[in-house]
A and B are shown apart, each in its own frame.
Chain A
Amino acid sequence: MPVTESLNLVAILPELVLAVGAMALLMLGVATREERGDLILWLAVGVLVVAGIFIACGEGTETLFGGSFIVDPYARMLKLLCLVGAAVSLIMSVPYWRAFGGMRFEYPILLLFAATGMLMMISAYDLIALYVGLELQSLALYVVAAFKRDSARSSEAGLKYFVLGALSSGMLLYGASLVYGFTGSTEFAQIASAVQPSGANLGLIFGLVFLMAGFAFKISAVPFHMWTPDVYEGAPTPVTAFFAAAPKIAAMALTVRVLISAFPALTTEWQQIVVFLAIASMGLGSFAAIGQRNIKRLMAYSSIGHMGYALVGLASGTVAGVQGVIIYLAIYLVMTLGMFACVLAMRRDGKMVENIDQLSGLSRTSPRMALVLAILLFSLAGIPPLAGFFAKFYVFLAAIESGLYALAVVGVLLSVVGAFYYLRIVKIMYFDDPAEPFEEMPASLAIIAGVSGALTLFYVVYPAPLVEAAGVAAKALF
């Protein structure tokens, strides 16, 4: 069989740039030895930027490789978010590695491969392509979680992540094989045409549930969240920042695409699962975070909760809902990166401190950092007029429009519970006795935290670009 369709590689140029760039940097790193870790890191940021430019230049909708890869506005929007997350967390890691050592040139390269995997996940239009992208991403993430191999906690985080990740991959593959068996195809478009709403087959629903279990693990939705706090706490902090930002977005993008594109006929069936995941995640994210003293663990529970809110948008299954999810992810990305820029600046006597009590009286020792943190925390809690409020507003609005009143009410109530632990940190920073001051914040972290705080604060002034872009992206799915 000759090549019947001409290979149009322009559409997958971003992925090619990332993969080839990573391999070229790998060669460069091997040739120049480890001293040049910094150079490789900045070159990796450059590769991410180039890939981002190629994505931004793309237009229209195209499927490649016999329908297993799709490039559409939805893919472009979420890929850009992922790349921003990857690039910023790479830049944020520079002061950390410089201060504490342990950086080797493989770190940026593994992150580049992870980013390649994320792009492939977002563009996957076929169950095999989906799995391949997911596995490329996950494998790189397992390694970077254990990157500080001399630290027992980092190794534990990597191993735990790996074992549980392998389990979730197994469930996902089991689900995929059932879906393939009952629809006769692995391509989303053909699965969608093979599924009849009336004759929703029990085996197919079984497969869908297993697929969802695999996805829920990747976005760390309850009840598949157990790995998150341990991995976030054990992994080196810049790695945690990366985990909280980019992979979450890619996995959520993947979940949305699979459910909306491949199973539109089974909306009522998967809606139940998503509603359950959303309520459980929001609940656990709110209540379990209350007792946390470690800021990284707290951020882990916070991210579980936030994925729950994003799932509320997906549960509605409408264009507005998906638009809400995209807006939520974008705002979540900005807030998370800002938060971690501050967490990375929590340094005293040449050591990282991770305890929340160490923040006490921050408003007097470093007022600017305290202000940015306060803005971000208020936003994470969803208090108007900050960006985090609008993120929640769109998803709850979508849920109400599609009649999921109970879900919206539960979500709003739980976000009130969640506000407690965010605001407690603000109270510690502003009303408790000052602890010793932190070391001065490195300039790159200060800029990232400042930009993040400013975007969060002033989103209300000019929300149109994000809302419109998310609207265009969401329409591409339906």
Chain B
Amino acid sequence: MLSALFFYLFAIMCVGAAFMVIATKNPVHAVLFLILAFFNAAGLFVLLGAEFLAMILIVVYVGAVLVLFLFVVMMLDVDFAELRAGFLKYLPVGALVGLLLLVELIFVVGAWVTAPMLVSDAPTPNMSTVNNTQALGEILYTRYVYLFESAALILLVAMIGTIVLTLHHKRDVRRQSIAAQVGRTRDAAVEVVEVETGKGLK
């Protein structure tokens, strides 16, 4: 009963926030509504018992991706009013595409068959004794450690590649050198000059 209550709470909030993402005029508000939608979706995941996905959704999407969105929205000068201009004109086409996708999804879900060997072969731990975060960890860091580490290597190469291709070391850029700042003594910085009246500094 209580979980049903929460389900409807999260679901309604999620759908409402998602609608506001496309309805609101201010792009910053849109991103904030998207964050709200993700929080509610995370709540739905918790209700399903998939707490790992819930955490990932918050940490990765809210913590990283949406903050990036926010930066982009604030830094780029995009005229969202212009982008939205044809909204009503394209609404029928958009609705049609959405409807078709929905029908296709229903067909896929209706005709879903899992290959018979698939379930038995999957090296899943006993789900009645461990929660899903632990289960994922136990598979990921034992059976699939090789693939996990290789994926990390790929990300490292991507990072190196980005830096190699885009970073320009400019010679004439003045960088802050804290050591030089702190190590500077009074003698090096201040000079006391006796100025004779009427002559000024040379």
Q: Do A and B bind each other?
A: yes
- B145 CB to closest chain A CB (Å) equals 7
B157 within 8 A of A: yes
Q: Which B108-154 residues have a C-beta within 8 angstroms of A?
A: 115-118, 121, 123, 125, 138-139, 142-147, 150-151, 153-154
Q: Are the C-beta atoms of B161 and A1 separated by less than 8 Å?
A: no
Q: Are the C-beta atoms of A110 and B160 separated by less than 8 Å?
A: yes
Which chain B residue has the least Cβ–Cβ distance from A129? B147
Q: Are the C-beta atoms of B146 and A136 separated by less than 8 Å?
A: no
> For residue B156, which residues in chain A have a CB less than 8 angstroms away from its CB?
23, 113
Q: Are the C-beta atoms of B160 and A109 separated by less than 8 Å?
A: yes
- Give the residue among B123, B142, B156, B157 with the most A Cβ atoms within 10 A: B157
Identify whether the interface residues of A are mostly helix, strand, loop, or mixed: helix
Per the bound structure, the CA–CA distance linking A133 and B147 in Å amounts to 9
A64 within 8 A of B: yes
Q: Are the C-beta atoms of B123 and A66 separated by less than 8 Å?
A: yes
B-side interface residues, number (CB < 8 Å) = 28
A106 within 8 A of B: yes
Q: Are the C-beta atoms of B157 and A136 separated by less than 8 Å?
A: yes
A104 within 8 A of B: yes
Which chain B residue has the least Cβ–Cβ distance from A185? B121
B164 within 8 A of A: yes
Per the bound structure, the CA–CA distance linking A101 and B142 in Å amounts to 45
> For residue A1, which residues in chain B have a CB less than 8 angstroms away from its CB?
123, 125, 138-139, 142-143
Q: Given A129-B147, A184-B116, A185-B117, is A136 in contact with B123 using a C-beta cutoff of 8 Å?
A: no
Please tell me the size bucket of the interface on A: 35 or more
Which chain B residue has the least Cβ–Cβ distance from A65? B146
Q: Are the C-beta atoms of B165 and A149 separated by less than 8 Å?
A: yes
Which chain A residue has the least Cβ–Cβ distance from B161? A143
B78 within 8 A of A: no
Identify whether the interface residues of B are mostly helix, strand, loop, or mixed: helix
- Give the residue among B115, B117, B158, B164 with the most A Cβ atoms within 10 A: B164
Q: Are the C-beta atoms of A139 and B154 separated by less than 8 Å?
A: yes
A173 within 8 A of B: no
Q: Are the C-beta atoms of A69 and B164 separated by less than 8 Å?
A: no
Q: Given A104-B164, A128-B147, is A19 in contact with B153 using a C-beta cutoff of 8 Å?
A: yes
Q: Give the number of residue pairs across the A-B interface with Cβ within 8 Å.
A: 85
> For residue B161, which residues in chain A have a CB less than 8 angstroms away from its CB?
110, 139-140, 142-143
A371 within 8 A of B: no
Q: Are the C-beta atoms of A136 and B118 separated by less than 8 Å?
A: no
Q: Which B157-193 residues have a C-beta within 8 angstroms of A?
A: 157-158, 160-161, 163-165, 169
Q: Are the C-beta atoms of B146 and A64 separated by less than 8 Å?
A: yes
> For residue B163, which residues in chain A have a CB less than 8 angstroms away from its CB?
106
Q: Given A146-B165, A182-B115, is A190 in contact with B121 using a C-beta cutoff of 8 Å?
A: yes
Residue from B142, B153, B160 in contact with A106 in the complex, judged by beta carbons closer than 8 Å: B160
Residue from A143, A181, A194 in contact with B160 in the complex, judged by beta carbons closer than 8 Å: A143
Which chain A residue has the least Cβ–Cβ distance from B158? A139
Q: Given A1-B123, A104-B164, A133-B150, is A194 in contact with B158 using a C-beta cutoff of 8 Å?
A: no
Q: Are the C-beta atoms of A132 and B154 separated by less than 8 Å?
A: yes
Per the bound structure, the CA–CA distance linking A132 and B144 in Å amounts to 12
> For residue A65, which residues in chain B have a CB less than 8 angstroms away from its CB?
143-147
Q: Are the C-beta atoms of B115 and A110 separated by less than 8 Å?
A: no
> For residue B153, which residues in chain A have a CB less than 8 angstroms away from its CB?
19, 113, 116, 136
> For residue A129, which residues in chain B have a CB less than 8 angstroms away from its CB?
146-147, 150
A3 within 8 A of B: yes
A120 within 8 A of B: yes
Q: Which A212-227 residues have a C-beta within 8 angstroms of B?
A: none
Per the bound structure, the CA–CA distance linking A19 and B155 in Å amounts to 13
Q: Are the C-beta atoms of A135 and B154 separated by less than 8 Å?
A: yes
Q: Are the C-beta atoms of B165 and A184 separated by less than 8 Å?
A: no
Q: Are the C-beta atoms of A132 and B147 separated by less than 8 Å?
A: yes
- Give the residue among A26, A65, A109 with the most B Cβ atoms within 10 A: A65
Per the bound structure, the CA–CA distance linking A149 and B164 in Å amounts to 9
> For residue B121, which residues in chain A have a CB less than 8 angstroms away from its CB?
184-185, 190
Q: Which B26-74 residues have a C-beta within 8 angstroms of A?
A: none
A270 within 8 A of B: no
18 intermolecular pairs with C-beta atoms under 8 Å apart: A1-B143, A3-B142, A65-B145, A104-B164, A110-B164, A113-B153, A132-B154, A133-B150, A136-B157, A139-B154, A140-B161, A142-B161, A146-B165, A147-B164, A149-B165, A158-B165, A183-B117, A184-B116
Q: List the interface of chain A (C-beta within 8 A of B).
A: 1-3, 7, 12, 19, 23, 26, 34, 64-66, 68-69, 104, 106, 109-110, 113, 116, 120, 128-129, 132-133, 135-136, 139-140, 142-143, 146-147, 149, 158, 181-185, 190, 194
Other CB < 8 Å A-B pairs besides A65-B146, A69-B146, A142-B161, 17 of them?
Answer: A7-B145, A65-B143, A66-B143, A106-B163, A109-B160, A113-B157, A120-B150, A132-B147, A132-B151, A136-B150, A139-B158, A139-B161, A147-B164, A184-B115, A185-B117, A185-B121, A194-B117
